[in-house]
Amino acid sequence: MNKFDTITAIQTQLGEAVLEVKRKSAQRIYIHISADKLTDASRLMLEQPGARLQIATGVDTSKGLEVMYHWAMDTDGIVITLRVLVGHESPELDSIAPIYPAAEWIEREIWELLGITFKGHPDLRHLLLADDWPEGNYPMRRNHEVTT
């Protein structure tokens, strides 16, 4: 199976949930999928030989809260990044920690720094910030102000 098979599988199995495929370079492919298909897409990636979730990056953008799941395909030497977008007013995503333990800390960090709730996460609590960090204070949001 080569890298194109994985992209084809994503497009075939997710159909209209694939909103955009951007080939930045031979080694970097970014695929925007609709957020409700995140778990299906993640399961699909886990089935691909040589696929490994490197990390997920959360970004506060004008269009909403974006989370990118960076999957290294070690047998092909490429990275396929799955991008999902949720609105500021309802920042929720399905947790993939139940199917992939590596995601546990990743989702806890995105929750506490960006304010996205991961539904179904087994242990959603502070990872890096103090337990008494003010609720609703998300340092990685654009409008965050440093308080001393």
Rama region for 120: left / alpha / beta (φ>0; ψ in -120 to 50; rest): left
Given the DSSP bridges, would you call strands 28-33 and 78-86 parallel, antiparallel or unpaired?
parallel
Least gap, CB of 104 to another protein (angstroms): 7
Contact flags string 83-122 toward another protein, x per CB under 8 A: -----------------xxx-xx-----------------
Q: Which is nearer to another protein, 12 or 75 (CB)?
A: 75
Q: Does 139 interact with another protein (rule: CB under 8 A)?
A: yes
Q: Does 144 interact with another protein (rule: CB under 8 A)?
A: yes
Choices 2-10, 37-45, 47-55, 88-96 (CB under 8 A): range interacting with another protein: 47-55
Interhelix angle 3-14/38-47, nearest 10 degrees: 150
What phi and psi values does residue 108 have, to the nearest 5 degrees? -60, -40
Helix, strand or coil, per DSSP, at residue 99: coil
Element (H, E) at 105: helix 103-114
* Closest by CA position to 38, among listed 71, 76, 4, 2: 71
Judged by CB under 8 A, the chain residues 23 through 42 that form the site for another protein are 24-25, 27-28, 30
Residues in the interface with another protein (CB under 8 A) total: 35
Instruction: Kindly list the residues in this chain that would bind another protein in the complex (CB under 8 A).
Output: 24-25, 27-28, 30, 52-55, 57, 59, 68, 70, 72, 74-75, 77-79, 81, 100-102, 104-105, 126-130, 139-140, 144, 146, 148
